[in-house]
Structure 1
């Protein structure tokens, strides 16, 4: 079968996805959900061999790709490979990521920059590379896997939240820029889900640990890893919710997932509104006098 034959077959079998971080967690679950829906997935991972079972079960609709998201110089080549194989790209899911626990003072420049490369510059490069193909077809979707930590933050996760805040800001602007081309942008903000994230190598601690922050960060250092396997969120239901949001006539810009995420986001929004009102007179008193 030629590459054009594959592209023609793909055109009749649903959407074409590129999902990063597809070997585990939300990436794996989304890959499985897309395949179950009859779609085709280019599943990007640093170790694509871990996707062997899915590739064997869906040889025509699952393409494992060896991709390091932080290698932004390869972003255009990765997108071109997907388009060359399947004829198009309908949904880009920037999912690859990891956690970092540590106080701001404990976080080194290198740790912060590494996380920003993974959560911000990598997704930005892939998004830029995919947009020309989506604009040419007048359709497409960019899904940014953020977190409730992309809307609010708390002690111990400042670096992680900073990267997600940046991605959300970029995507909010993107949504307004590409809507006229028929392209959707969806920011997903999960709470605590049983993805293995909290208990695996994807969750790291800062190299520096200062005793001064034991009272504020110590509980996060132990509590987050200890929560693994007991989180309330079901990744399968999360994947179904993402697919439903993409299929909706009016796809939301932000989709909170989980009771914990929604409650925290609403509480944070209410507190921000109350604070703004409390300081309203000061805020409004800083313009030049008429």
Structure 2
């Protein structure tokens, strides 16, 4: 396999930084991006990665201009990893800013990369989502909503780009030892609005959980990213497997997905006859429903591309 060219967002720490090291270790080429790259990506100096300053929340035209220049570094982009993002609990305006980075930022970078992948008729677009897309606890609503949006985007995007031999996947990690629950990180993104007394107990409980797990998260970032790189490259534990549209990463994420699906199926079974199945128009012809032409895609959507 020829070396792949990766463009990775949010490389200052955590998954993003590890993706840089893991991809380079496989012999690939990396374009590492992040805000204030001169300082926040300084730890990547000397790794061999190309460093590009990219704030994904910039206007789309500016994002496209930066990505187009980055694509010229190695002449192509084979893999995009949409990793940039953060989490917090806050007011409406702060939630909009979170979506600007976590959702609209990922869309802007994806839209900027797609013309290059369509031209070369190949590519992989990966999103670093979260198990919170399946289960969102109290006080994490905005973050879970953003990750849920990415989960839905992958479904539609996969169908749109499939004719161009471009694959998509949403990785959905559980708790990993990243700065996400670090106290200083939470304080950095804490709401500037006065906290509501009505939610004081819930807020205190969430902060206590974050503090208790900070430094004691289940997942090892290095192992998690190595698995994700295996999946993207079709190597190691992913050898001979088809790439799914989404993949939980970590035992806790697997349990959340299993429990959510199980609970939803129980709801459908419990309500099917009395309510769910009683809403058809009397004159409706059952063989002409939308479900006859639109089906949920098999999770084994992709075979690996012959790069």
| Fold conserved between structures, TM > 0.5 | yes
Distance (Å, rounded) in 2 between the aligned partners of 1:252 and 1:114: 30
Partner secondary structure for residue 57 of structure 1? coil
Counterpart of 1:197 in 2: which secondary structure? Answer: helix
Deviation at 1:37, TM superposition (A): 0.8
Tell me, yes or no, if structure 1 residue 78 matches structure 2 residue 66: yes
Alignment of 1:205 with 2:190, yes or no, is yes
Structure 1, gaps ≥5 residues long: 1-11, 102-106
Cα distance in 2 for partners of 1:163, 1:91 equals 22
CA distance in 2, matches of 1:196, 1:113: 22
Residues 33 and 239, structure 1, Cα contact 8 Å, conserved in 2:
yes
Q: TM-score, normalised by structure 1?
A: 0.88
RMSD: 1.7
Q: Which position in structure 2 is the counterpart of 1:285?
A: 278
Cα drift, residue 74 of structure 1: 1.5
Q: Is the contact between residue 13 and residue 40 of structure 1 (CA under 8 Å) also seen in structure 2?
A: no
55, 70, 82: which one pairs with 1:68?
A: 55
* 1:155 corresponds to 2:148: no
Work out whether 1:240 is the aligned partner of 2:226. yes
Question: How many Å apart are 1:200 and its aligned residue?
Answer: 5.3
SS for the counterpart of 1:99 is coil
In structure 2, the residue matched to 1:6 is none
Partner Cα distance (1:214, 1:51) in 2: 37
Deviations 1:103-137 (A, max 9, x none): xxxx4220110011011111111111111111111
Q: 1:27 aligns with which of 16, 28, 34?
A: 16
Q: Which runs of 5+ in 2 are unaligned?
A: 235-240, 284-307
Contact 1:99 1:202 in 2 (8 A): no
The 3-state SS of whatever aligns with 2:109 is helix
State the distance in 1 between where 2:271 and 2:119 align: 47
8 Å Cα contact 1:192-1:231 kept in structure 2: yes
TM-score (norm 2): 0.84
Structural mapping, 1:24-173, within 5 Å: 24-49=13-38, 50-58=40-48, 62-71=49-58, 72-101=60-89, 107-173=90-156
Contact 2:176-2:220 at 8 Å conserved across structures: yes
Count of paired positions: 271
The structure 1 segments of at least 4 consecutive aligned residues displaced by more than 4 Å after TM superposition are: none
Aligned-partner Cα distance in 1 for 2:194–2:154: 32
Distance 2:233 2:107 in 1: 24
CA distance in structure 2 between the partners assigned to 1:53 and 1:119 by the alignment: 23
Distance 2:37 2:183 in 1: 18
Q: CA offsets per residue over residues 250-273 of structure 1, 9 Å max, x none?
A: 211111111111101110110011
- 3-state DSSP of counterpart to 1:100: coil
My pick for the range that moved more, 195-204 or 118-127, is: 195-204
Structure 2 SS opposite 1:84: helix
Q: Check conservation: 1:97, 1:202, Cα contact below 8 A.
A: no
- Per-residue CA deviation, residues 152-211 of structure 1 (Å, 9 max, x unaligned), is 212111111111111211111001111221111010101100012210554333334223
More moved, 192-201 vs 131-140? 192-201
